[in-house]
């Protein structure tokens, strides 16, 4: 197996949610881990959007702490994706002997053709083997605690969107009731009804469920039709989100949504996706877009956008 394939496998198989929960539990008793847990949430968000370089840089402080081998595997995979095999090998060589010889890192030793005799003197090797059952013993760096530092919740993008959906659900329901009250009770003329086939109404609730389950192709199939009155903004947003996940969205699509619905409750989410798309396309306009997101205080994406801009 080559290094790139191994990195892809690690990113697909590592229990990222369990790793996040482990950091959160550690943070309940250790303020240093509390800060690291917040930072790891940013790393996960960057990873979700393919920001491997930034994610690889931000995970470095965590790798100097007493963490399970899974975090070192993630660090190697991110560095491999970000900067290639030579850089990943340098990161591997910087690990403590105990971590290098950990059983879970054996695939990386094989990829780098790393022999335990290269670790140094036999006494060092013996010490490393003795430490296999324990966490790496590097001293954790003490991160400064600042009261005004933005706190990033350790949730994934899909979880954040699900939460936002729940918050907006009541508002959407009220809009539906208001629109239904305004609709006339007149029945369509029979001849017109027979001549013009009725368009299918998009089942928004079903679309939301499929998106939360990451079944984007099925959600895409349900988005063919007409939005129910009062659901135009939500349907438009889910069309963008599904197209984004399927790699079919264009930067102009995000811009059109914001122009059409400037007061939409999904505006921050759409601008974030627009900024990411612009950056991937090499369009310098992404800085302006992410700066706009960063200025939206109190939103989920604001501190993340700010962090991305500050790291450049």
Domain parsing of the chain, residue ranges: 3-133, 157-184+199-310
pLDDT digits (tens, 9 = 90+) for 18-28: 888 888 888 88
Minimal CA–CA distance to 55: which of 65, 63, 64, 45? 45
Specify the 3-state DSSP secondary structure of 226: strand
Spatial separation of the C-alpha atoms in residues 301 and 307, rounded to whole Å: 10
* CA distances (Å), origin 255, targets 110, 241, 279: 47, 13, 14
Per-residue confidence (pLDDT) for residue 190, from 0 to 100: 45
CATH class of 157-184+199-310: mainly alpha
Task: State both tokens at 284.
Answer: 């310098």
Spatial separation of the C-alpha atoms in residues 243 and 269, rounded to whole Å: 14
What proportion of the chain, given as a percentage, has pLDDT over 90? Answer: 24
Per-residue confidence (pLDDT) for residue 130, from 0 to 100: 38
Q: Are 228 and 176 in contact (CB under 8 A)?
A: yes
* Residue bearing tokens 């013996």: 126
Per-residue confidence (pLDDT) for residue 36, from 0 to 100: 79
Per-residue confidence (pLDDT) for residue 122, from 0 to 100: 39
Query: Which residues are bridge partners to 226 per DSSP?
Result: 201
Minimal CA–CA distance to 90: which of 123, 58, 66, 112? 112
Per-residue confidence (pLDDT) for residue 149, from 0 to 100: 45
- Reported as half-sphere exposure (CB side, CA atoms, 13 A), residue 7 has a value of 21
Calculated CA dihedral for residues 287, 291, 292, 297, nearest 10 degrees: 160
Minimal CA–CA distance to 46: which of 91, 11, 97? 11
Spatial separation of the C-alpha atoms in residues 243 and 255, rounded to whole Å: 14
The rounded radius of gyration (Å) of the Cα atoms in the chain is: 24
Q: Is 298 left (phi over 0), alpha (psi -120 to 50) or beta?
A: left
pLDDT digits (tens, 9 = 90+) for 39-89: 888 888 888 888 888 889 888 888 888 888 899 999 999 999 999 999 999
Within the chain, which residues score under 70 in pLDDT?
114-199, 312
Per-residue confidence (pLDDT) for residue 20, from 0 to 100: 87
Query: Which residues are bridge partners to 201 per DSSP?
Result: 226
The H or E element spanning position 97 is helix 97-100
Q: Are 7 and 81 in contact (CB under 8 A)?
A: yes
């Amino acid at each position: 197996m080559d290094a790139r394939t191994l990195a892809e496998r690690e990113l697909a198989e590592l229990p990222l949610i369990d790793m996040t929960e482990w950091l959160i539990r550690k943070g309940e008793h250790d303020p240093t881990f509390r800060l690291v847990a917040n930072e790891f949430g940013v790393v996960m968000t960057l990873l979700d959007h393919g920001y491997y370089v930034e994610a690889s840089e931000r995970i470095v402080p965590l790798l100097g702490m007493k963490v399970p081998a899974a975090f070192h595997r993630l660090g190697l995979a991110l560095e491999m994706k970000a900067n290639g095999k030579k850089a990943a090998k340098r990161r591997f060589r910087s690990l403590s002997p105990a971590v290098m010889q950990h059983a879970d890192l054996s695939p990386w030793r094989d990829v780098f053709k790393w022999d335990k005799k290269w670790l140094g003197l036999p006494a060092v090797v013996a010490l490393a083997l003795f430490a296999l059952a324990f966490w790496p013993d590097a001293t954790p760096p003490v991160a400064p605690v600042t009261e005004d530092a933005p706190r990033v919740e350790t949730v994934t993008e899909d979880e954040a969107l699900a939460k936002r959906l729940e918050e907006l659900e009541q508002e959407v329901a009220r809009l539906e009731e208001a629109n239904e009250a305004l609709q006339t009770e007149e029945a369509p003329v029979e001849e017109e009804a027979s001549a013009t086939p009725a368009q299918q109404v998009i089942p928004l609730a079903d679309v939301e469920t499929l998106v939360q389950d990451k079944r984007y192709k099925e959600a895409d199939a349900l988005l063919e039709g007409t939005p129910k009155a009062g659901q135009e903004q939500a349907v438009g947003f889910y069309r963008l989100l599904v197209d984004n996940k399927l790699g079919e969205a264009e930067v102009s699509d995000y811009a059109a949504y914001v122009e059409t619905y400037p007061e939409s409750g999904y505006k921050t989410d759409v601008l974030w996706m627009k900024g990411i798309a612009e950056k991937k396309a090499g369009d310098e306009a992404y800085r302006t877009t992410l700066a706009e997101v960063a200025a939206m205080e109190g939103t989920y994406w604001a501190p993340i956008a700010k962090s991305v801009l500050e790291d450049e």
